[in-house]
Amino acid sequence: MTTGQIEIVLPLAYSTPTSAEEWKRAMSVPGSELPALSVQQKEIARKLNISEEEYARNVLAGSYGWERTRKRANDLGEAVQAAIRTLDVRYRVSAVSRDVSRLGGDVRIESPLGEASVLLSKELADELVRPGSESGQEQLRVRVLSALKQAKLRSYD
């Protein structure tokens, strides 16, 4: 088992939804502070027939969306870590992956029994990051124990 921070994995093809607040924030940034565009991004802006500044604001809003998504994934990992700590202090969340096809997440957990992956629905993930969510934590603990048992059985194959 390793120690350290939770790895956050987002698919490269994943397009992060940008909130209205993130768009407002990007629109309020002075033009001189917008991110510099690569040659490829400038070419895309030209092909889309939009200004480079407008494209740069789009890039900036997207980066705000990525940061929000990364923070949410990290918060989820920390919530899962808190929930599984009651099972065994040697259990550790090593990674949280965004599962775009299921609109949820995949949490990788290391334990003395091995490594297990637990799929979380968006609803359960939302429940876990909500303060004081006992039912979500209990549902998670059951899933973790089941996943670890399955991982242990597979290791005997």
HSE value, Cβ hemisphere, 13 Å, CA-based, for 69: 24
DSSP one-letter code for 31: G
Looking at the chain, how many residues does it have?
A: 157
Asked whether the CA dihedral 5, 60, 68, 108 is positive or negative, the reply is negative
Phi, psi of 8 (to 5 degrees): -105, 125
Q: Does residue 84 surpass a pLDDT of 60?
A: yes
Integer Cα distance of 29 and 21 in angstroms: 13
Q: What is the pLDDT of residue 153?
A: 60
Of the candidates 39, 90, 34, the residue with the CA atom closest to the CA atom of residue 59 = 34
Q: Of residues 32 and 87, which shows the higher confidence score?
A: 32
The average pLDDT across 42-71 equals: 93
Q: Of residues 110 and 47, which shows the higher confidence score?
A: 47
Q: Which pLDDT band holds residue 23 (cuts at 50, 70, 90)?
A: very high
Integer Cα distance of 144 and 17 in angstroms: 29
Q: Is 100 strand, coil or helix?
A: coil
Q: Of residues 78 and 15, which shows the higher confidence score?
A: 78
